[in-house]
Amino acid sequence: MSDLEVIVEPGRQDIVVRRTFDAPRDVVFRAMTEPEHLARWWGLAETETVVDRLELRPGGTWRFVEKGPDGREDAFRGVFHDVVAPERFVQTFEYEGMPGHVAMETHALEEDGGRTRYTSVSVFQSVEDRDGMVRSGMETGLRQSLDALEELAGSLT
Amino acid sequence: MSDLEVIVEPGRQDIVVRRTFDAPRDVVFRAMTEPEHLARWWGLAETETVVDRLELRPGGTWRFVEKGPDGREDAFRGVFHDVVAPERFVQTFEYEGMPGHVAMETHALEEDGGRTRYTSVSVFQSVEDRDGMVRSGMETGLRQSLDALEELAGSLT
């Protein structure tokens, strides 16, 4: 069991995620931001993630395609704002199936004696957008993918 | 008097701005996004705005410098996410004096019989960040700059 916390307060338009990873910060940062690693943990367990683009710099764009076992493809994209390796990156996030609904995500990593404390804040354009993301079952997917990230980070140390 | 509305609800992390401009939508969009026009209305009345960068495309970056009458310089920067001319653009916004505090802004324009209805939604990473922006006197600056934008748009038609 991880210590994953997903904080969704009523009436707000953000989702705060906290989790500790049993791996050093620089390794977690690499697992989160390098295409060959990211493709292995991002998304649901039963889907395959293809990293179409990942330009890790302010103004760089990213696009990932999730391929389901039934052949369905869902694409996600965004733009990087700030990148301060291995501490923090800020990016926008948009599901191509719902264009115009953009969230902004801040991902922060703190070193804690060989372990890493991760905090993400995702802010949505409205409470409705935020609640829609929660209803889509994001917590299940997040739990799976962050567990897979920890396992991968363990293999990189 | 303009019909400017600045909506700041307690405990939320967004600021919604609405205003009608007495100019067609394509002209307002140009005034908002073309460097030579933008420098003339953006910022406070007593400051000079220098557009250091304005790359209007997804992943394009922008940076504006405000020069005060006392020689003080304040810089602002961000990244464009979506650009759907002349309807909408999404960008991040950061004051270089407070790095890491990033807001995401959606600017939308609707045509209304030769006039333009403008709505912006700015979402901040926290309620505290939002409230700090409000306390900085943003409404005064916004009123001045959107009045100047309308005047400029009138000269472009």
Q: Domain with A71 in it: what CATH number?
A: 3.30.530.20
Q: What is the pLDDT of residue A136?
A: 87
Number of domains comprising chain A: 1
CA-to-CA distance for B110 and B25, rounded, in angstroms?
7
From the list B123, B126, B127, which residue is nearest A124 (CB)? B123
Q: What is the pLDDT of residue B136?
A: 87
Residues 36-75 of A with CB under 8 A from B: 55, 58-61
Q: What is the pLDDT of residue B5?
A: 96
pLDDT at B1 over 80: no
- In this prediction, residue B14 has a pLDDT band, given cuts at 50, 70 and 90, of very high
Q: What is the pLDDT of residue B58?
A: 92
Respond yes or no on whether the N-terminal peptide bond of residue A24 is cis (omega within 30° of 0).
no
Single-letter residue type at A47: T
Residue for token digits 């006197």? B137
Q: What is the pLDDT of residues B25-62, one digit of tens each?
A: 999 999 999 999 999 999 888 899 999 999 999 999 99
The answer to whether the beta carbons of residues B104 and A90 sit under 8 Å apart is: no
Helix (H, G, I), strand (E, B) or coil at A113: coil
Q: What is the pLDDT of residue A44?
A: 85
CA-to-CA distance for A21 and A31, rounded, in angstroms?
11
Q: What is the pLDDT of residues B91-103, one digit of tens each?
A: 999 999 998 899 9
Q: For residue A121, which residues of chain B lie inside 8 Å, CB to CB? A: 125-126
Q: Which of B79, B125, B69 is nearest to B98 (CA)?
A: B125
Q: What is the pLDDT of residue A69?
A: 92
SS3 content of chain B, % helix, strand, coil (to 5): 30, 40, 30
Token pair listed for B59: 């992943």
Q: What is the pLDDT of residue A45?
A: 83
pLDDT at A1 over 80: no
The residue in chain A having the minimum alpha-carbon distance to the alpha carbon of residue B127 is A12
Q: What is the pLDDT of residue B157?
A: 80
Q: For residue A90, which residues of chain B lie inside 8 Å, CB to CB? A: 92, 102
Q: How many CB contacts within 8 angstroms connect chain A with chain B?
A: 84
Share of chain B above pLDDT 70, in %: 100
Rounded to the nearest angstrom, the minimum Cα separation between B30 and chain A is 20
Q: What is the pLDDT of residue A77?
A: 96
From the list B60, B81, B99, which residue is nearest A78 (CB)? B81
Containing A102, the helix (H) or strand (E) segment is: strand A102-112
The answer to whether the beta carbons of residues B37 and B14 sit under 8 Å apart is: no
CB atoms B90 and A102 under 8 Å:
yes
CA-to-CA distance for A60 and A69, rounded, in angstroms?
30
- Answer whether A148 touches B (CB < 8 Å): no
Q: State the pTM of this model.
A: 0.89
The answer to whether the beta carbons of residues B4 and B142 sit under 8 Å apart is: yes
Q: What is the pLDDT of residues A34-78, one digit of tens each?
A: 999 999 999 888 899 999 999 999 999 999 999 999 999 999 999
Burial A98-110 (b: 16+ CB within 10 A, else e): eeebbbbbbbbbe
**Domain membership of residue B152 as a residue range:** 5-156
Q: What is the pLDDT of residues B101-136, one digit of tens each?
A: 999 999 999 999 999 999 999 999 999 999 999 998
- Answer whether B125 touches A (CB < 8 Å): yes
Q: Which of A96, A130, A116, A142 is nearest to A30 (CA)?
A: A116
- Answer whether B123 touches A (CB < 8 Å): yes
pLDDT at B85 over 90: yes
CA-to-CA distance for A6 and A4, rounded, in angstroms?
7
Q: For residue B92, which residues of chain A lie inside 8 Å, CB to CB? A: 79, 81, 90, 92, 104
Q: For residue B11, which residues of chain A lie inside 8 Å, CB to CB? A: 11-12
Q: What is the pLDDT of residue B11?
A: 86
Token pair listed for A157: 């140390």
From the list A14, A79, A94, which residue is nearest B79 (CB)? A79
Q: What is the pLDDT of residue A131?
A: 94
Q: What is the pLDDT of residues A67-117, one digit of tens each?
A: 999 999 999 999 999 999 999 999 999 999 998 899 999 999 999 999 999
Rounded to the nearest angstrom, the minimum Cα separation between A85 and chain B is 13
Highest mean pLDDT out of A132-136, A139-143, B14-18:
B14-18
Helix (H, G, I), strand (E, B) or coil at B123: strand
